[in-house]
Amino acid sequence: MIWLTWRQFRASAATAAALLAALAAVLALTGPGMADDYAAGVVACKRRPGGCGNFYQDFYHAHMAAFFGVTVVVLLLPALLGLFWGAPLITRELETGTHRLVWNQSVTRTRWLTVKLGLVGLGATAAAGIGSLAVTWWAGPLDASAARNTPSFPRMGPLLFDARGLVPVAYAAFAFLLGVAVGTVVRRTLPAMAVTLAVFAVVQLAMPLLVRPHFAAPVRASQTIGTANLDDFFVGHNGEPVQMTVQSQAPGDPNAWVLENRLVDAAGRPTNGTIKVSTTSGPCAPEQSAPPGGAPGQAGRPPAGESPISACLAEINRLGYRQRLVYQPSSRYWAFQWAETGIFAVLAAGLAGFCFWTVRRRLS
């Protein structure tokens, strides 16, 4: 039975092995050089007066295409394994009738399915594990700079969390067994592939939106508004209000997963970025000759040594405006990885049990 399953599976396995080998070769050739460039850049920028902010931005944008490329590969890999390995595993036998031939050779249905799920499922999880580990190792410096980009891509965020570490292995096991389970019900390859893709996509969207944020109680923080967390700032003429946005990044933790980022007034109400502060007089009044969006503070004349924007921000903070953040700290990364891996492992085990039940009770 093992030999027969391998004969049926070896073309798919060889194709996957060739693609993974090509990916590993590219990552092995480019990874050390990128890591050296990143380490040298961080050492150099720490000596500069402005810090490393510009270096992180430049490094990320220089490798942005590769960053998204390898991330998409790992995100798609479990779905592809479910579609092309899981869904046809049983439906192909049902469509050709070869399963009856095997069952008439003193091979029980349980043994037949155990060998198929074990051999092909092991190959699916191994492929996902190799791909995820290789990309996680290669993208370490790039992930660090992406977390400090605007918009940021922190390691705890849905994009990188789903494509790094352990969870891609669990996704692959789940997607493969989902394809097999759907195949035992639908009994046609193409419909089974379509249903597998749809269900897997729904589960992958529901997990970061509905389930993962509740693995642990999030941290709630409120902080003053300053140039360090300011993202955009606009002061119009003719008494128009101040419009501003703040960076969606937890203080001192760029890899945290920010669930909520709001500007609130003194009563704690969201402001939608509109700040009710005088722009005709005082620290937030723009210079009369400045163009719209010009530097505020000229009418109120900030104290010597204080920039116009800093004076306006100080006035906004005095009025009680704050940045309110709800986030999951990056220190919970591996706890969340294990938790989600466990959830998908349980789902995969349930699907495997369903496959055995349908093969023994419903297939003829």
- Is the same domain home to 344 and 280? no
- Residue 7 lies inside a defined structural domain of this protein: yes
Tokens of 108: 């029980």
On whether both 249 and 350 belong to a single domain, the answer is no
* pLDDT over 70 at 46, yes or no: yes
Examine residue 296 and state whether it is found in any structural domain, yes or no.
no
Please check whether residues 112 and 227 belong to one and the same domain.
Answer: no
Mean pLDDT check: name the lowest of 92-96, 157-161, 320-324: 92-96
- Do residues 251 and 201 both lie within one domain? no
Distances (CA, A) of 363 to 119, 331, 359: 21, 48, 5
* Residue 295 resides in a domain: no
Q: Does a structural domain hold residue 300?
A: no
66 Cβ contact list (under 8 Å, min separation 6): 30, 142
Q: Mean pLDDT, to the nearest integer, of 154-179?
A: 94
> Quick check: 295 pLDDT over 80?
no
Claim to verify: residue 103 and residue 138 sit in the same structural domain: yes
Average pLDDT of the chain? 88
The answer to whether residues 260 and 309 belong to one domain is yes
Residue 298 lies in a domain: no
- Taking phi first (over 0 means left), then psi (-120 to 50 degrees means alpha), and beta for anything else, what does residue 363 get? beta
Structure confidence at residue 280 as a pLDDT band (50, 70, 90): confident
- Same domain, yes or no: 272 and 197: no
Do 270 and 254 fall into the same domain? yes
Are residues 67 and 193 both part of a single domain? yes
pTM of the model: 0.86
In this structure, is residue 104 part of a structural domain?
yes
Per DSSP, which regions of 236-276 are E strands?
Answer: 242-246, 257-264, 274-275
For position 300, what pLDDT does the model report?
46
Closest to 330 (Cα-Cα) out of 172, 226, 247, 216: 216
Q: What is the mean pLDDT of residues 162-182?
A: 96
Within a domain: 101: yes
How many structural domains does the chain have? 2
User: Kindly report the CA angle at 138 between 329 and 332, in degrees rounded to 5?
Assistant: 15
| Residues 195, 244 within the same domain | no
- Could you list the residue range(s) of the whole structural domain that residue 226 is in? 219-287+305-328
Question: 350 and 203 share a domain?
Answer: yes
Residues 319 and 353 occupy one common structural domain = no
Give domain status of residue 271, yes or no.
yes
Is a pLDDT exceeding 80 seen at residue 1? no
Q: Look at the chain and count its residues.
A: 364
What pLDDT is stored for residue 283 in this prediction?
85
Task: Please say if the pLDDT value at position 302 is more than 60.
Answer: no
Residue 337: partners with Cβ closer than 8 Å, 6 or more residues away: 161, 165, 166, 167
Stretch 349-353: mean pLDDT, rounded? 97
Question: In this predicted model, what pLDDT tens digit does every residue of 210-219 receive, in sequence order?
Answer: 999 999 999 9
